Chain A
Amino acid sequence: MAFLELQGVEKYFGELQAIKGIDLTIEKGEFVVFVGPSGCGKSTLLRMIAGLETVDVGSVWLDGRDITKLPSSKRDLAMVFQSYALYPHMSVYDNMSFALMLAKTDPAAIREKVERAAKILNLTPYLQRTPKELSGGQRQRVAIGRAIVRSPKVFLFDEPLSNLDAALRGQTRVEIAKLHRELNATTIYVTHDQVEAMTLAHRVVVLRDGQIEQVGTPLELYYRPNNQFVAQFIGTPQMNMVAGPDMAQFEGGLTMPVPSGGYLGLRPESLTLGAPGTGQVQARVDLVEALGAETLVYVTTARGTQLVARQNNIRTLPHVGDAVGLQIDSAAAHLFDSHGRVVAPAMR
């Protein structure tokens, strides 16, 4: 049996069904990320695992034990909240040792564990301060420290980086990844940021409207999305979607036709810009974003389809209004039927 298992889990808020029957297994030591647009139920699902929301239908199993009805305090899980939720009246040391103290751990052992965690997280000089005397990043590290001193069965992270500025977010993301490698602890991490999902996860669970759209490794989701939603949710800029009357000219180079009423999905990097008249599709440049190593070129075809092309290391930038030809890497094309389900995943 898996380490953590959700079996047909459902949640209702009044009439609204927030979680619509989720089955999921998580192995010991795995780093799983729940990702999805806001309101998709990812935080609710995490809180159900934590015991902070009741499970209306289905069951939750942890380490061979049914914990569906167990209160949070008895589940042996640790959670890092979006708002950090530090105890404002306690010092950093007391915040980090609170759970151990409640568990009646030997004081010497508490001291050793807290000091070790503080060292890992660079918090040693701040142990006697209260949370309000710390910066946002330091508070975040205390919240993480509070979780790791306990060595819980599972770490739960609820959008832990969303209150940090961009630079700190990137840095903390790297630290969390490093921490996970060192502790090898089972982790569930909720985020709406697909970059966090892609960089941290062993497996990503993409949620939408309380249902799982797809579960897979980050690269599986990127290269073999099950449907149009996952295809467009994972990857920045979004996958280009071609539909309707424009299809004919795109279809030229494809090995199989797009189903009627369906869509053709093309990642920005599978479009190559060329001189006007070359390639399968002719278009005009709307906007150029030169990011250094790569350049994003936004174009519109003669029939009005808007596309983004990602070009690496181009020396001469196209200008807005230029006519360009687009070469399509047909082996990297994704085909979806009229319901958005994948018909043929990209061949590579």
Chain B
Amino acid sequence: MAPKPPITAALVGRTVAAWVVTLVIFFPLGWLVLTSFKTELQAIAVPPLLFFKPTLANFAEVQQRSDYLLYATNSVITSVISTLLGLAIAFPAAYSMAFFRSKRTRDVLMWMLSTKMMPAVGALVPIYVLAQTAGLLDSRLSLIVVFTLSNLPIMVWMLYSSLKDIPNEILEAARMDGASLWQEFRRVLLPLGIGGLFSTGLLCLVLAWNEAFWSLNLTSAKAGTLATMIASYSSPEGLFWAKLSCASFMAIAPIVVFGWFSQRQLVQGLTFGAVK
């Protein structure tokens, strides 16, 4: 074991600063979780209560009032399908850009990314009208299409940067060895690119899960996702802090748990190319 470094003022300072930053970032989330176990009265108590007798009443009420399972199902379906669909479209695009580069490849990538620079609200009216004309308002299909399209640039970029780390000669070697395009993909490209594929999928799953703007504008009772369920708790009837917190907690819990178990892949994917 390496000897412990001596404790210096700088080390103490850095440690304290790291803890402060971590707590500041974590605090709203922690408070939200605490509040979801409070009664409405406890939730608005002044001074705020840190210790209290927890209740599960909010959870029951959220499920009763807004059919949590329906929203959760919508979230799962829209985020999973849009992610899979996006990967199926983005992977071939990234493959051709990474291995069959032309002098315009860079421009195409920049152009794709530039579409993310426009605020979503700029496209609200046309997309709303399109969805309405197609009779797709308040349908999962409209969300899947919008999520897929809005995540595509990020997917192509991430997959591109992970694929371009794979030397082209390895794929050429597979071709010389007699591999068909499918065998080349299945036996060489997929095993080497699985990390990038996985982390891209994970990030886009999280993005689609947390997406609120389009879900709020394109759906209501039938196809709404968990994000719209949360929003329904800040209603004209007034703010119900405990129930709002509880709904938020229930909305983010699945994806947090999922993310927790796969954070290693996520970090690996986000730092692609940065360490090489």
Contact surface of A with B, Cβ cutoff 8 Å: 50-52, 71-74, 77-79, 81-83, 85-89, 98-99, 102-103, 146, 150
Check if A78 sits within 8 Å of B183, measured CB to CB: no
Check if A77 sits within 8 Å of B176, measured CB to CB: yes
- Among the interface residues B167, B169, B176, B188, which one has the most CB atoms of the partner chain A within 10 A? B176
Q: Do A73 and B180 contact each other (CB < 8 Å), given the known contacts A87-B188, A89-B192, A98-B187? A: yes
List the B residue with the shortest CB-CB distance to A82: B169
B175 within 8 A of A: yes
Q: With contacts A73-B175, A88-B170 known, what are 4 further pairs, Cβ within 8 A?
A: A52-B176, A83-B167, A102-B178, A146-B173
Can you pick out 8 interface pairs between chain A and chain B where the beta carbons lie within 8 Å of each other? Answer: A83-B167, A83-B169, A85-B173, A86-B170, A87-B173, A87-B188, A99-B178, A150-B177
List the B residue with the shortest CB-CB distance to A47: B172
Check if B176 sits within 8 Å of A79, measured CB to CB: yes
Check if A99 sits within 8 Å of B191, measured CB to CB: no
Q: Do A79 and B173 contact each other (CB < 8 Å), given the known contacts A88-B192, A98-B187? A: yes
- B-chain residues with CB within 8 Å of residue A81 when the two chains form the complex: 169, 172-173
Check if B178 sits within 8 Å of A73, measured CB to CB: yes
Give the distance in Å from the alpha carbon of A48 to the alpha carbon of B173 in the complex.
14
Q: Inter-chain contact count A-B, CB under 8 Å?
A: 59
Q: In the complex, how many residues of chain B place their beta carbon closer than 8 angstroms to a beta carbon of chain A?
A: 17
Interface class of chain B by DSSP = helix
Return the contact of B177 from the options A71, A82, A89, A98 (Cβ within 8 A): A98
Interface class of chain A by DSSP = loop
B residues 96-151 in Cβ contact with A at 8 Å: none
List the A residue with the shortest CB-CB distance to B103: A14
Check if A85 sits within 8 Å of B177, measured CB to CB: no
Check if A89 sits within 8 Å of B191, measured CB to CB: yes
Contact surface of B with A, Cβ cutoff 8 Å: 167, 169-170, 172-180, 183, 187-188, 191-192
**Closest beta carbon of chain A to B190's beta carbon, Å:** 10
- B-chain residues with CB within 8 Å of residue A71 when the two chains form the complex: 175
- A-chain residues with CB within 8 Å of residue B179 when the two chains form the complex: 73, 98, 102
List the A residue with the shortest CB-CB distance to B191: A89
Check if B177 sits within 8 Å of A146, measured CB to CB: yes
Return the contact of A103 from the options B167, B178, B187, B191 (Cβ within 8 A): B178
- B-chain residues with CB within 8 Å of residue A82 when the two chains form the complex: 169
Check if A78 sits within 8 Å of B176, measured CB to CB: yes
* 6 nearest CB pairs, A to B: A99-B177, A85-B169, A85-B173, A72-B175, A89-B191, A79-B176
- B-chain residues with CB within 8 Å of residue A88 when the two chains form the complex: 170, 192
Check if A73 sits within 8 Å of B176, measured CB to CB: yes
Check if B172 sits within 8 Å of A72, measured CB to CB: yes
Q: Do A50 and B177 contact each other (CB < 8 Å), given the known contacts A83-B169, A87-B188? A: no
**Closest beta carbon of chain B to A53's beta carbon, Å:** 10
List the B residue with the shortest CB-CB distance to A99: B177
Give the distance in Å from the alpha carbon of A153 to the alpha carbon of B170 in the complex.
21
- A-chain residues with CB within 8 Å of residue B170 when the two chains form the complex: 85-88
List the B residue with the shortest CB-CB distance to A71: B175
- A-chain residues with CB within 8 Å of residue B183 when the two chains form the complex: 102
**Closest beta carbon of chain A to B185's beta carbon, Å:** 13
- Among the interface residues B173, B174, B180, B191, which one has the most CB atoms of the partner chain A within 10 A? B173
- B-chain residues with CB within 8 Å of residue A79 when the two chains form the complex: 172-173, 176
Return the contact of B175 from the options A52, A86, A89, A103 (Cβ within 8 A): A52
List the A residue with the shortest CB-CB distance to B173: A85
- B-chain residues with CB within 8 Å of residue A50 when the two chains form the complex: 172, 176
List the A residue with the shortest CB-CB distance to B168: A85
Give the distance in Å from the alpha carbon of A146 to the alpha carbon of B174 in the complex.
11
Give the distance in Å from the alpha carbon of A146 to the alpha carbon of B169 in the complex.
14
**Closest beta carbon of chain B to A240's beta carbon, Å:** 40
**Closest beta carbon of chain A to B79's beta carbon, Å:** 30
Give the distance in Å from the alpha carbon of A146 to the alpha carbon of B192 in the complex.
19
- A-chain residues with CB within 8 Å of residue B176 when the two chains form the complex: 50, 52, 72-73, 77-79
